Copies of this chain bind each other. A is one copy, B any other.
Amino acid sequence: MTGPSRFGIVRLVSSRRDKQVRPAPTCTIALDAMGGDHGPEVVVAAALRFQADNPQVALILVGNEDRINEHLGSASRERIRIHPATQEVAMDESPSKALRGKKDSSMRVAIDLVKDGVADGCVSAGNTGALMATARFVLKMLPNVDRPAIITAVPSVHGHTHMLDLGANVDCTAEHLFQFAVMGSELVSAVDGIARPRVALLNIGQEEIKGNEQVKQAHELLSHSGLNYIGYVEGDGIFLGDLDLVVSDGFVGNVALKCSEGVAKFVRHSLTSQFKRTWFTRLAGLAAMPILKSFRRTMDPRRYNGASLLGLRGIVIKSHGGADVLAFENAIYIAEKEIHADIPRRISEQVGLHLGSEQYRETA
């Protein structure tokens, strides 16, 4: 793997800064080395892999020095350094407890490094609730954004689709959904190089009872916005629809994402057991092996690992807790993309533009 598959091989759209001829910009990414189910074992290995292909990016491994050193071994440390942190946030720790009681946790220190400008962004596989609460507390929200939202890409017949929110916000107003759409659209525009991403609202299909009140009101707001809003989409549209971004509240988005992971696992389980049934099917499986491998690659959730916390004054990427080396590496790639695209600044501008517009104020 030589690049972040989540965003394919699409180049960033040109921003004002990109127009100057200059070498690829260097950036610094802080990694919460103690987060996730595997801690430094996975994070350090992913950092080394990433750096082998991206020597221009500096990495800071945050956490227990001894344990990180153990995994770094004799690797070159030219662009990798360790920043010590004495505490760890447990995967099942409550966000409020982590926030109050763990001021020197690897997660908190990694976010502090972003706030202090030492790092341009950070990646953590730690628990989502604590990461969200800490990031929000330390970095603060962008002006006019009420809540952060979690966004990721999922594979689709057209390549991939971005979805948000994925669990940060259980109950949302129409205005929240609208803000998510603005932020998500800007992210997709930046990382996928699409000038006007097609934005849809996740809904259910029955005419009269279509949607709850929030969704209907968000539909009104989006219909009168400057976004490329294409209307409602049902659950299957995420994977089959010709669109770029699907917006929902965090409860629905989280269920949709987890469902899709469940079906994908069920499919793998079902295919594997079919091929294992008899000697004949095992032979057929051997013949089909290269195709099945390639198919598995398309569906590989590791290639989509790395969800962004949008709406903050800084870049924070959440890796899956159970991520392996390849998956965590993908999350670092996403951080790098967002740093170079200057996502928080771009979102801030767009939110100002859309939420200041006359249509929005009239409709909202």
* Chain A residues at the B interface, C-beta cutoff of 8 Å: 92, 94-96, 127-129, 133, 155-157, 167-168, 170-171, 202, 204-209, 211-212, 234-240, 248, 250-252, 254-267, 269-271, 274-275, 277, 281, 283-285, 287-288, 290-291, 294-295, 298-299
Contact = CB atoms under 8 A, between A and B. Distances in A.
A156 to B, nearest CB: 7
A76 B353 CA distance: 70
Contacts of A264: 263, 267
Nearest to A280: B290
A30 B160 CA distance: 44
Interface core residue of A95, A167, A260 (most chain B CB under 10 Å): A260
A356 B98 CA distance: 43
Given A212-B171, A235-B256, A256-B256, A204 B266 contact: no
Nearest to A130: B208
Given A129-B207, A255-B204, A299-B270, A291 B262 contact: no
B265 A239 contact: yes
Contacts of A207: 92, 94-95, 127, 129
A283 B290 CA distance: 12
Nearest to A235: B258
A272 to B, nearest CB: 10
Contacts of A156: 266
B284 A288 contact: yes
Given A237-B258, A274-B294, 7 more contacts: A234-B258, A235-B257, A236-B261, A238-B259, A259-B260, A274-B298, A281-B290
18 contacts: A129-B206, A157-B270, A170-B212, A171-B212, A204-B250, A204-B254, A205-B258, A235-B260, A236-B265, A237-B258, A238-B259, A255-B255, A255-B259, A270-B295, A270-B298, A271-B295, A287-B287, A288-B288
Contacts of A236: 258-259, 261-262, 265
A236 B254 CA distance: 10
Given A239-B266, A256-B259, A128 B288 contact: no
Closest CB pairs A-B (n = 6): A235-B258, A236-B262, A235-B259, A239-B262, A204-B254, A288-B288
Interface core residue of A208, A234, A263 (most chain B CB under 10 Å): A263
Contacts of A209: 95, 129, 167-168, 170
A270 B298 CA distance: 8
Given A291-B285, A295-B270, A208 B265 contact: no
Contact of A265 (B92, B240, B251, B290): B240
A134 to B, nearest CB: 12
Contacts of A258: 204-205, 234-237
A269 B212 contact: no
